[in-house]
């Protein structure tokens, strides 16, 4: 195989190569175009169902009315969105610190892992809606209660994935570190943490969505209004008033927030792994 | 290594009564059939395992910088560049990259990869990765390098090339090498001493001196002398396999 001289005439593409390049082009365009097309079709379908069946707006508003409500109520909904996003991001941050911290502790001491891991599993598998009322009885601060609920939902994927990653460091590299007299801290810093990075980032992407779910569920359970109310409370409130368009508008904001969190964390993952990890590398063929 | 026994779980005897004297500058091949746990002997040398009985003694003081290891796989850190991988033994001894930059680049130059210092392992071929692994093993100029079938997974041409390069590198840094292999041809070309081992339990069957002078070139591979050494090593290996059976 040799590198082509730019002055050489272009090489003839065989049928396989032509098909592969066409497939690549279609996939590149389709990745963005197809979901957008599906969205437009769904909106049209939704609108037509409402118009043709003359469904009243307090049962099912049309997409146009939802959009108008989103604009009209933007100030109130945006303020609520900020509260939900604040709880979500704080919960995610605490999930990262707590999840990674516990994972490091678990891998440093098998006894600690054996002692505490079952309880981490119990916390994860117990539904948050069952724990949340108790949390709001015992925790005075509303913000702290919301944060605790969201954290409980979000921290386990970080803990589980990071523990797996820390334990997945190449055994020959572990031996090499031992031969070179590496301290426990050096092994953790230079070997285990980089090995765990792809696993951690996978857990982080799951935790991003779960912390939003945790924040919304906690707001539902807390059910308190006021200036510092999040989107979940605005949905509850709109439901009580049969303001269905606002419910849809708030729901759209939550969904968009979830997508932005996922996209942001996926981008972070790509940036951190793009140079070396298989998951971020493109294959030529 | 004096009368070393190694038993796993109190039931499986990996090594039995193994004695081996290694002199400064030796190139020793441990040759044996697959499954004869030669790798366990290497792990004993590197202090990753401890003998059940017997002992391993170094002459003079030694520290972690006196030992270099090359595994069957290149065993590189995929997240680190070539230069960062070679820097590792120094880094674990608290040296910053700027302190040892010249040593790292010198090691990469010796293996012909100085232009690839900023590449990541995934960008290299199998042979190049193994060169990085060798550069890392020798960057601290160790007294002893342990190599566990390092070229087993490579194609024949790359393997021959790396065999030649290894002898050049050994001569350049003047270290001792203990090399595990299942290849008679490789052991004869590289070593001045071949220790033939049998399996179950792993034990030394015989030692062969390969007293052909260094440097050894491609011509050595086609010489009658090489063929004679190969014949002797093959006979010894067949004896070892017969004893194991």
CB-closest option in A172, A179, A276 to B64: A179
pLDDT of residue A79: 94
pLDDT of residue A166: 95
* Closest to A218 (Cα-Cα) out of A98, A85, A128, A93: A128
Whether residues B78 and A276 touch (CB distance < 8 A) is answered with: yes
**Percent helix / strand / coil, chain A, rounded to 5:** 80, 0, 20
Q: Are B56 and B4 in contact (CB under 8 A)?
A: yes
- Are residue A22 and residue A110 in the same domain, yes or no? no
Report yes or no on A170 lying in a domain. Answer: yes
- Are residue A169 and residue A261 in the same domain, yes or no? yes
Report yes or no on A185 lying in a domain. Answer: yes
pLDDT of residue A213: 93
pLDDT of residue B226: 94
Q: Which of B79, B123, B140, B144 to mutate to test the interface with A (most CBs of A within 10 A)?
A: B79
- Are residue A32 and residue A135 in the same domain, yes or no? no
pLDDT of residue A1: 41
- Are residue A20 and residue A137 in the same domain, yes or no? no
- Are residue A102 and residue A177 in the same domain, yes or no? yes
pLDDT of residue A2: 43
- Are residue A248 and residue A125 in the same domain, yes or no? yes
Length of chain A: 285
Q: Are A271 and A261 in contact (CB under 8 A)?
A: no
Q: Enumerate the residues of chain B whose CB falls inside 8 A of the CB of residue A277.
A: 78-79
In chain B the domains, ranked by start, together with CATH numbers, are: 2-62+143-244 (3.40.50.300), 76-141 (no CATH)
CATH code for position A83: 1.10.3720.10
Report yes or no on A7 lying in a domain. Answer: no
b vs e for A91-118, b when ≥16 Cβ sit within 10 Å of the residue's Cβ?
bbebbbebbbebbbebbeeeeebeeeee
pLDDT over 80 at B244, yes or no: no
- Are residue A203 and residue A271 in the same domain, yes or no? yes
Select the highest-mean-pLDDT range: A118-132, B8-22, B72-86, B149-163.
Answer: B72-86
Q: Are B120 and B43 in contact (CB under 8 A)?
A: no
Report yes or no on A107 lying in a domain. Answer: yes
- Are residue A131 and residue A86 in the same domain, yes or no? yes
Distance from CA of B79 to the nearest CA of A (A): 6
Q: Which residues lie across from B28 on neighbouring strands?
A: B178, B193
- Are residue A152 and residue A258 in the same domain, yes or no? yes
pTM: 0.86
Q: Enumerate the residues of chain B whose CB falls inside 8 A of the CB of residue A201.
A: none
Residues B121-125, mean pLDDT to the nearest whole number:
93
The residues of chain A scoring below 50 in pLDDT are 1-4, 285
- Are residue A108 and residue A143 in the same domain, yes or no? yes
- Are residue A104 and residue A212 in the same domain, yes or no? yes
Domains in chain A, number: 2
Whether residues B91 and A190 touch (CB distance < 8 A) is answered with: yes
Helix or strand run (H / E) with residue B166: helix B156-173
pLDDT of residue B43: 85
Nearest CA in chain B to A191: B77
- Are residue A227 and residue A150 in the same domain, yes or no? yes
Report yes or no on A132 lying in a domain. Answer: yes
Q: Enumerate the residues of chain B whose CB falls inside 8 A of the CB of residue A275.
A: 120
Residues B206-227, mean pLDDT to the nearest whole number:
91
- Domain span at residue A30 reads 15-54
Report yes or no on A285 lying in a domain. Answer: no
Higher pLDDT, B119 or B33: B119
Q: How far is CA A69 from the centre of its chain?
A: 27
Report yes or no on A249 lying in a domain. Answer: yes
């Amino acid at each position: 195989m040799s590198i082509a001289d730019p002055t050489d005439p272009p090489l003839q593409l065989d049928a396989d190569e032509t098909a592969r390049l066409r497939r690549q082009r279609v996939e590149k365009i389709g990745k963005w175009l197809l979901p957008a097309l599906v969205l437009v079709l769904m909106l049209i379908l939704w609108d037509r169902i409402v118009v043709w069946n003359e469904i009243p707006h307090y049962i099912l508003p049309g997409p146009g009315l939802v959009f108008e409500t989103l604009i009209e109520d933007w100030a109130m909904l945006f303020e609520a969105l900020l509260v939900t996003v604040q709880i979500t991001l704080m919960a995610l941050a605490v999930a990262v610190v707590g999840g990674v911290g516990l994972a490091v502790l678990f891998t440093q001491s098998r006894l600690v892992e054996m002692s505490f891991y079952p309880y981490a599993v119990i916390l994860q598998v117990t539904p948050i809606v069952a724990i949340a009322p108790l949390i709001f009885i015992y925790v005075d601060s509303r913000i702290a209660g919301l944060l605790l609920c969201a954290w409980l939902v979000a921290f386990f994927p970080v803990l589980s994935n990071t523990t797996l990653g820390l334990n997945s460091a190449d055994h020959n590299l572990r031996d090499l570190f031992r031969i070179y007299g590496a301290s426990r801290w050096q092994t953790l810093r230079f070997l285990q943490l980089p090995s765990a990075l792809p696993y951690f980032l996978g857990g982080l992407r799951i935790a991003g969505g779960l912390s939003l779910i945790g924040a919304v569920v906690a707001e539902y359970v807390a059910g308190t209004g006021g200036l510092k109310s999040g989107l979940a409370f605005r949905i509850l409130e709109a439901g009580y008033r049969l303001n269905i368009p606002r419910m849809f508008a708030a729901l759209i904001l939550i969904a968009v927030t979830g997508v932005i969190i996922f996209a942001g964390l996926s981008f972070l993952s790509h940036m951190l792994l793009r140079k070396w990890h298989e998951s971020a590398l493109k294959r030529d063929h | 290594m004096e009368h070393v026994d190694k038993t796993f779980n109190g039931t499986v005897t990996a090594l039995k009564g193994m004695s081996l004297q290694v002199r400064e500058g030796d190139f020793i091949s441990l040759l044996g059939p697959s499954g004869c746990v030669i790798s366990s002997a290497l792990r004993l040398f590197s202090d990753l395992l401890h003998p059940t009985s017997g002992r391993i003694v170094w002459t003079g003081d030694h520290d972690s910088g006196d030992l270099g290891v090359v595994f069957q796989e290149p065993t590189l850190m995929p997240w680190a560049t070539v230069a960062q991988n070679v820097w590792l033994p120094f880094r674990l001894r608290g040296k910053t990259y700027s302190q040892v930059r010249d040593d790292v680049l010198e090691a990469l130059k010796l293996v012909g990869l100085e232009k690839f210092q900023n590449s990541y392992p995934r960008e290299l071929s199998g042979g190049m990765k193994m060169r990085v692994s060798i550069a890392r093993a020798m960057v601290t100029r160790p007294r002893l390098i342990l190599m566990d079938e390092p070229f087993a997974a490579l194609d024949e041409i790359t393997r021959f090339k790396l065999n030649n390069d290894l002898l050049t590198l050994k001569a350049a840094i003047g270290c001792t090498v203990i090399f595990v292999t299942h290849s008679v041809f490789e052991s004869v070309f590289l070593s001045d001493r071949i220790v033939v081992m049998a399996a179950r339990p792993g034990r030394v069957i015989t030692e062969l001196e390969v007293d052909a002078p260094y440097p050894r070139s491609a011509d050595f591979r086609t010489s009658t002398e090489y063929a004679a050494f190969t014949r002797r090593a093959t006979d010894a290996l067949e004896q070892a396999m017969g004893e194991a059976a």
